[in-house]
Amino acid sequence: MREALRLAERQLADAGVDAPRVDAELLLAHVLGTSRSGVYAQAEREVPGTWQVLLGRRCRREPLAYVLGEWGFRRLVLKTDARALVPRPETEVVVERCLELLRGDPAPRVLDVGTGTGAIAFAIADEHAGAHVTAVDTSSAAVELARENVERLGLDVELRSGGIDIAGEGWDLVVSNPPYVTLGEWNTLQPEITEWEPRDALVGVGVHERIARVAKTRFLVFETHECQADDVAGMVASLGYVDVAITPDLAGKPRVVEGRRA
């Protein structure tokens, strides 16, 4: 087992994977049905054949979350594959802000625009027992994956195929992590992103503003690019939202913009 891990680490490093040891341990833990630390408690066990298949996929720079087929987000484990973006740790802070704004409202109506796997919508439904959550995405593949997730999690969230217009229906809170990567930046990103994740989920310009203009909502919460937070906050304020604030992500980068209708 230790030798298998050592070889895998070298293969992954040669393929350019960022954290080869961690990935090797997580892939092995997955095939053994244990945790990362549990791998070392089973050092005498035979390594199953599926291990090489998963390792090969990761060496081709397929995202770890797609290879594992599931990924943790706040208290949930979501099914993940190439139909939607892998939920990122910074997005957990978006959920944090939504829950804080909704505190004291026993039954808020919440809309997640561009739901992908369903991560934001499902985490809010999971952590705010009274919330009535709706999630929408233009990608039918993403909605299909979100539907599989909602069934698996047993949460009561309404899923819809469609675009931004739904934000005009009247909500207590509209949240979105919309596409905000520029084409120029796209070309500089890692192959895990450019070769595997859906481009339409990431590349987009002006989507925050389109949502902010259409939305009829008490609270608006956006994830933004760290370099766009000030601009997005300014745009939100210029549209008449008050209490506009920026919250940093776990790495301290300006990431979440929120506002309230006066």
Ligand X SMILES: C[S@@+](CC[C@H](N)C(=O)[O-])C[C@H]1O[C@@H](n2cnc3c(N)ncnc32)[C@H](O)[C@@H]1O
**Which residues in this chain contact ligand X in the complex, by CB under 6 A?**
84-85, 87, 91, 113-117, 119-120, 136-139, 142, 163-164, 177-179, 200-202
Q: Nearest to ligand X by Cβ — which residue?
A: 114
Rounded CA separation 135/156 (Å): 11
The 3-state DSSP class for residue 26 equals helix
- Shortest Å distance, C-beta 167 to ligand X: 9
Rounded CA separation 184/165 (Å): 28
User: In this complex, which beta carbon is closest to ligand X, that of residue 163 or of residue 248?
Assistant: 163
User: In this complex, which beta carbon is closest to ligand X, that of residue 55 or of residue 119?
Assistant: 119
Rounded CA separation 44/13 (Å): 25
User: In this complex, which beta carbon is closest to ligand X, that of residue 222 or of residue 241?
Assistant: 222
- Shortest Å distance, C-beta 234 to ligand X: 21
Of 28, 50, 24, which is closest to residue 39 (Cα–Cα)?
28
- Shortest Å distance, C-beta 7 to ligand X: 33
Rounded CA separation 64/120 (Å): 20
User: In this complex, which beta carbon is closest to ligand X, that of residue 5 or of residue 117?
Assistant: 117
- Shortest Å distance, C-beta 231 to ligand X: 18
- As given in the structure block, the two tokens for residue 106 are 């026993």
Residue 174 parent element (H or E): strand 171-176
Rounded CA separation 119/252 (Å): 21
Q: State the sign of the Cα–Cα–Cα–Cα dihedral 64, 69, 72, 78.
A: positive
User: In this complex, which beta carbon is closest to ligand X, that of residue 142 or of residue 212?
Assistant: 142
The CA-based angle 86-91-94, given to 5 degrees, is: 150
> In the block, which residue shows the tokens 């608006």?
220
Rounded CA separation 35/28 (Å): 9
- Shortest Å distance, C-beta 87 to ligand X: 4
Rounded CA separation 145/171 (Å): 24
User: In this complex, which beta carbon is closest to ligand X, that of residue 180 or of residue 241?
Assistant: 180
- Shortest Å distance, C-beta 217 to ligand X: 15
- As given in the structure block, the two tokens for residue 85 are 């973006």
Residue 153 parent element (H or E): helix 140-153
- Shortest Å distance, C-beta 228 to ligand X: 13
